[in-house]
């Protein structure tokens, strides 16, 4: 099987050669200039998205951009750069003519958020079929200094935080956790083990990101069976996914310091493009001490992270390629009730990536994009400096996608994906023998776009095979499919309906684990005879993205067939409750609401709510563990020139719908104030941010924490950050 993966990889690399197919004649073009709203100066390095077509370009030294070969019709343009954004612009393009536009950018609470994860192409969140959270420079500045990916996304609509301490927190999407939420970096799997255990973290540096996207609900069509609950895509560089030249110098430096956990760190990145060539790199570090709560310090909760990346590529008219090496290392403590027991965990991930595109492939294909990624991940558990259990995960994956040229109302993407994974654990928590996993998939997604309605439909076939040493081999094949309807209802308003059928192969720990697993506070017994998991889901959304009011609301229901869960047996082994992996049907039902309302001038009211109810449908009814309670959010966003002030109140209900052996968690209210001041020039930007959290010093507990009974959440504190950019 490994030879098959390598053969496909060589085929992908060969496709980076220039295509011999003829180019379609141009129809029309669109030329524009992006300027700084405050002064009118041209902005270099701004990103401009055009749709339909989902193409992006960057502005040159004169702030200019050009889209060629546009069929006649009406096009929507969105421009943005770091904390700057502009209004959505709609204008016509005529055959044989060049349209002209000027787009001013400024700081505004009203943002046209962009997503690439939902469909594999850049599009606005308002136009997406899926429900998406997309955080870019403006929103990320309010969360600067977050210690982990879960901490960064906590309190976003439909997203909660699972943790075993600050170093381990991971996003939970609509109540789905573990192997059902797929974490990506620039569209490819990270190759880590954070889904496997509560004490495994995700090695991501939140201070050095361009954008973070969360696709809520089953996203298995494009990314695989692990995405049956959702996808979190961490975007570190614009050039990884956008195959066009990046001329000039881009440089960023960030410094962070904070109280309540003695936080300190910094990061930096650069890009230097000349003609078609690009050289880039980044690096940084962050440390925190034991964090403070109203009940005192949580011992052994300190974290430390270091990362480094270097890469180069060529972005030509006909073909592109790009090569990257990255290393990230994190060390963190696991809080315990016994001060004498202070285990540390060390994670190291080295990754190598080669990706690119072949363009102008004739009359049918717009381009072919490919990705090859190898990840070497090691996780060590240290007790008094002595190495205990070690985990090794070596993973090679590849992905190829063909983008179709628009033909009438039809456009789409189809492709293939594969993975070879070698997993091994050694030591006291080595619950499985070494396991090789091989996966292959074919997928496609098509869209029919008319003036008054859009349709989307797609499918994916996926194979997953496990080969454990000395145990039963298992092989799973499954189909996923979706159908969506997007209907504009009024100006800036639309309704979206989606039906999704998803497939998930059981994870290797669900099949083969046997023994004590302190990371999940359980003695786990897997079942090598588990069936594949299937889901049927329906989601209805209503959206309005106007200039004075914005609304995103959704209701969803997923029925999970042969849902795999840890069932308590009532026995105790090695001082841990014994759980067996079983399968049964379950149901997830929930709702989300998010609104922005302009009250007066530059004062906006922000509000939000999310709720999920999840249980087994067997009799008697049994709630599923670690399901986030209902939450509400109320805040303001006030902008005065370059100053933004954002107070917010987070209200969380008591979680009383609990699983066996789970305790209820009281509700709480937390008050935060975030503020930032941005100074923008033609080629530089300074951003000063102050983020205060838990100002009432409230003692509260996260229901999704494995150690919530003795480790409250962080108390009152403040974080300061400064970011300097050259572009």
- Record the pTM: 0.91
Averaged over 550-568, what is the pLDDT?
94
Q: Find the mean pLDDT for residues 135-161.
A: 84
Q: Give the tens place of pLDDT for each residue, 374-403.
A: 999 999 988 877 888 899 999 999 999 999
Residue 20 DSSP code: -
Q: CA 235: distance to chain centroid? A: 8
At 26 the pLDDT is: 53
Say what percent of the chain tops pLDDT 90: 58
- Summarised one tens digit per residue, pLDDT across range 10-29 is 444 444 444 433 344 458 88
The one-character DSSP state at 428 is T
pLDDT tens readout for residues 685-712: 899 999 999 999 999 999 999 999 999 9
Q: For residues 655 and 172, give the distance between their C-alpha atoms in angstroms, rounded to a whole number.
A: 16
Pick from 239, 417, 403: nearest CA to 322: 239
Rounded Cα distance, 227 and 582, in Å: 20
Average pLDDT, whole number, for the chain?
A: 89
In the chain the first and final C-alpha atoms are separated, in Å, by 46
State how far the alpha carbon of 179 is from the alpha carbons of 194, 315, 439, 546, 667, in Å: 9, 35, 15, 37, 28
| Residue-range domain boundaries for the chain | 2-16+112-726, 29-105
**Contacts with 723 (C-beta within 8 Å, 6 or more apart), sequence order:** 141, 144, 252, 253, 254, 685, 686, 687, 689
Q: Is-contact 172 162, C-beta < 8 A?
A: yes
Please give the CATH number for the structural domain made up of 29-105.
2.60.40.1120
Which residue do the tokens 């719908």 mark?
657
Distances (CA, A) of 279 to 249, 267, 323: 10, 18, 10
Altogether, the residues listed in the chain come to a count of 727
- Structure confidence at residue 427 (pLDDT): 87
Lowest mean pLDDT among 80-84, 194-198, 214-218, 515-519: 80-84
602 pLDDT more than 90:
no
Tens digits of per-residue pLDDT, 225-254?
889 889 999 988 777 767 677 778 888 999
Supply 596's token pair.
């922005």
pLDDT category, 275, cuts 50, 70, 90?
confident
CA 50 vs CA 53, 76, 83, 677, 681: distances in Å: 7, 6, 20, 30, 25
145: pLDDT strictly greater than 60 = yes
Distance set, CA 559 to CA 246, 426, 590, 626 (Å): 45, 37, 12, 18
Q: Are 149 and 206 in contact (CB under 8 A)?
A: yes
Residues 167/345, Cβ–Cβ less than 8 Å: yes
Q: Do domains 2-16+112-726 and 29-105 have the same CATH topology?
A: no
Q: Are strands 474-490 and 454-468 parallel, antiparallel or unpaired?
A: antiparallel
Q: Which fold has domain 2-16+112-726?
A: Maltoporin; Chain A (2.40.170)
Per-residue model confidence as pLDDT tens digits over 416-427: 999 999 999 998
Q: How confident is the model at residue 17, as a pLDDT? A: 41
Predicted pLDDT at 480: 95
């Amino acid at each position: 099987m490994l030879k098959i993966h390598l053969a496909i990889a060589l085929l992908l690399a060969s496709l980076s050669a220039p295509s011999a197919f003829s180019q379609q004649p141009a129809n029309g073009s669109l030329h524009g200039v992006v300027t700084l709203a405050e002064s009118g100066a041209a902005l270099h390095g701004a990103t401009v998205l055009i749709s339909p077509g989902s193409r992006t370009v960057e502005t040159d030294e004169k702030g200019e951009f050009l889209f060629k070969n546009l069929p006649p019709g009406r096009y929507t343009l969105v421009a943005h750069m770091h904390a700057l954004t502009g209004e959505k612009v709609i204008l016509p393009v005529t055959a044989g003519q060049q349209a002209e536009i000027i787009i001013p950018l400024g700081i505004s609470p009203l943002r046209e958020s962009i997503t690439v994860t939902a469909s594999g192409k850049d599009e606005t969140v308002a136009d997406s079929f899926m429900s998406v959270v997309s955080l870019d420079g403006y929103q990320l500045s309010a969360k600067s200094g977050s210690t982990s990916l879960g901490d960064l996304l906590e309190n976003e609509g439909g997203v909660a935080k699972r943790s075993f301490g600050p170093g381990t927190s991971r996003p939970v999407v609509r109540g789905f956790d573990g192997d059902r939420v797929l974490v990506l970096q620039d569209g490819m799997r990270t190759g880590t083990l954070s889904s496997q255990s509560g004490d495994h973290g995700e090695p991501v540096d939140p201070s050095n990101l361009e954008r973070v996207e969360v696709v809520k609900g089953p996203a298995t069509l494009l990314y695989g069976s692990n995405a049956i609950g959702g996808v979190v895509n961490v975007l570190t560089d614009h050039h990884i996914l956008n195959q066009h030249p990046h001329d000039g110098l881009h440089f960023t430096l960030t410094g962070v310091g904070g109280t309540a956990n003695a936080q300190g760190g910094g990061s930096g990145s650069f890009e230097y493009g000349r003609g078609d060539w690009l050289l880039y790199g980044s690096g940084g570090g962050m440390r925190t001490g034991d964090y403070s709560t109203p009940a005192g310090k949580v011992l052994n909760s300190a974290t430390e992270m270091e990362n480094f990346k270097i890469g180069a590529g060529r972005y030509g008219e006909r073909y592109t390629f790009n090569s990257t090496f990255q290393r990230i290392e994190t060390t963190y403590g696991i809080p315990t009730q016994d001060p004498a027991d202070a285990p540390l965990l060390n994670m190291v991930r080295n990754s190598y990536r080669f990706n690119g595109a072949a363009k102008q492939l004739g009359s049918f294909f717009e381009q072919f994009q490919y990705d090859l990624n190898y990840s070497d991940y090691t996780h060590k558990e240290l007790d008094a400096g002595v190495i205990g259990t070690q985990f090794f995960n070596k993973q090679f994956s590849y992905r190829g996608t063909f983008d179709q040229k628009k033909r009438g109302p039809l456009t789409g993407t189809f492709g293939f994906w594969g993975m070879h994974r070698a997993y091994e654990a050694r030591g006291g928590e080595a619950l499985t023998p070494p396991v090789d996993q091989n996966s292959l998939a074919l997928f496609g997604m098509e869209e029919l776009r008319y003036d008054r309605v859009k349709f989307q439909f797609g499918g994916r076939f996926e194979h997953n095979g496990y080969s454990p040493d000395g145990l039963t081999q298992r092989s799973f094949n499954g189909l996923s499919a979706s159908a969506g309807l997007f209907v504009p209802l009024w100006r800036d308003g639309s309704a979206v309906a989606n039906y999704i059928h998803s497939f998930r192969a059981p994870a290797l720990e669900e099949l083969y684990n046997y023994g004590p697993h302190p990371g999940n506070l359980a003695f786990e017994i897997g079942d090598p005879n588990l069936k594949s998991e299937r889901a049927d889901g329906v989601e209805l959304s209503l959206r309005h993205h106007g200039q004075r009011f914005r609304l995103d609301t959704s209701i969803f229901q997923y029925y999970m067939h042969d849902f795999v869960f840890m069932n308590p047996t009532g026995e105790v082994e090695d001082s841990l409750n014994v759980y067996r992996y079983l399968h049964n049907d379950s149901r997830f039902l929930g709702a989300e609401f998010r609104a922005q309302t302009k009250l007066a001038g530059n004062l906006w009211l922000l509000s939000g709510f999310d709720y999920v109810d999840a249980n087994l449908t067997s009799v008697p009814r049994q709630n599923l563990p670690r399901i986030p309670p209902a939450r509400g959010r109320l805040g303001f966003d006030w902008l005065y020139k370059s100053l933004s002030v954002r107070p917010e109140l987070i209200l969380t209900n008591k979680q009383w719908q609990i699983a066996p052996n789970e305790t209820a968690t009281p509700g709480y209210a937390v008050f935060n104030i975030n503020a930032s001041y941005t100074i923008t020039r033609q080629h530089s930007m300074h951003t000063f941010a102050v983020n205060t959290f838990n100002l009432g010093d409230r003692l509260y507990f996260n229901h999704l924490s494995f150690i919530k009974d003795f480790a409250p959440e962080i108390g009152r504190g403040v974080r300061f950050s400064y970011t300097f950019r050259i572009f």
